[in-house]
Structure 1
Amino acid sequence: MTHPHQTLILDKTQIQQKVTRMAYEIYEQNFEEQALVLAGIQENGYILAEMLLQQLQTISDKEVSLLSVTLDKSSPLEKPVEVLPSSDNLENKTIIIVDDVLNTGKTLAYTLNTFLPYNPKKVEIATLVNRHHTLFPVSATYTGYSLATTLGEHVAVVLKENEVAAYLH
């Protein structure tokens, strides 16, 4: 699926290595926690959260649950952020919000706002690619790949069965 003006920045093996390293970092920074909640932002953030969940289950015996977060990224106030399964038991839990690319931080800021009323113990952020163009007070706790880009450039992460890659165009 390469387009002529795309540059491959991460292939499938590299993405898997980043996910494994992030899982170890999550485990190390949360070794005292009994349970972790991974909240993946649809669609790629959720797939990434599933990949992290598999790795965490391989390296630890922690109870890790997975939430799906759906929001309108272009206009997040139009519809409420949807969290499934319903997030009623998040009090005093460690929540890790997972998304594929951290660009301006807008999506993560609105998602973070959704979890605060549940009184979590702490909220962390995991992202595969961090572009460092944040306009909102959000920073990644765990970053797979740090990439300095111009505002005109775009990072596309593909997490499909037949293609796992990240491109810059």
Structure 2
Amino acid sequence: MTPQHKQQNLILDRTQIEQKVKRIAYEIYERNFEEQELVLAGIYPSGHTLAERLAEQLQQISPIKVSLLQVTLNKDMPLQEPVQLQPENISLADKVVVLVDDVLNTGKTLAYTLNAFLPQNPKKVEVATLVDRHHPLYPISSTYTGYSLATTLRERVQVVLQEDEVAAYLL
């Protein structure tokens, strides 16, 4: 545990996160085994890193072509700036899109990102999240959940997905 995390409670370590990523990848494959291609759209920054890890696992276990999409938005004021999708040339028409974020709390972030996907007419949109906190304010639920955790509204969950540290903490 690094010094900055002394006041935090470790809820998932590197091994547990890797196991959960692998399990989510298998679940995505099981639900979408008939697809030729799917798009993992990760919310930048941590959701995109999680999407990259899921893509690696999916490529190891399935023949499905996986495209990665980075979703960037202003999480505090989502209406102030448009949601950006990178790269812009990925077509979502008639494809399965799995929207990936590290923590699902109220569903606000994921709800605002849907506006960027729906005009492109995806076949379906699913949600994958490492930690689901269960404080829904928007009609968004996780299709794939790594870890379900009951928290208070004041508590925060921080997911760290870096080369030297992979962990999830309750703050």
**TM (normalized to structure 2)?**
0.96
After superposition, the C-alpha distances for 1:2-51 in whole angstroms (9 at most, x for unaligned) are 43321000000000000000000000000111110000000000000000
- 1:51 aligned partner, one-letter code: R
Q: Root-mean-square deviation (CA), in Å?
A: 0.9
Give the Å deviation of 1:61.
1.0
Match of 1:6 in 2: 8
Please, what TM-score do these two structures have when normalized by structure 1?
Answer: 0.98
Cα displacement (A) at 1:88: 5.2
Letter of the 2:86 partner, please give it: L
Partner in structure 2 of residue 144 of structure 1: 146
CA distance in 2, matches of 1:67, 1:149: 30
| Structure 2: stretches of 5+ with no match in the other structure | none
In the alignment, what sits opposite 1:26? 28
1:70 aligns with 2:72: yes
Equivalent residue for 1:133? Answer: 135
* 1:35 correspondence with 2:37: yes
Mean Cα displacement is larger for which, 79-88 or 149-158? 79-88
Matched pairs, number: 169
Distance 2:5 2:66 in 1: 37
CA displacement, residues 86-115 of structure 1 (integer Å, 9 cap, x when unaligned): 155211000000000000100000111210
Residue in 2 that maps onto 1:92: 94
Identity of aligned residues (%): 67
Distance 1:88 1:55 in 2: 21
Amino acid at match of 1:124: E
> How far apart, in 2, do the equivalents of 1:3 and 1:30 lie?
38
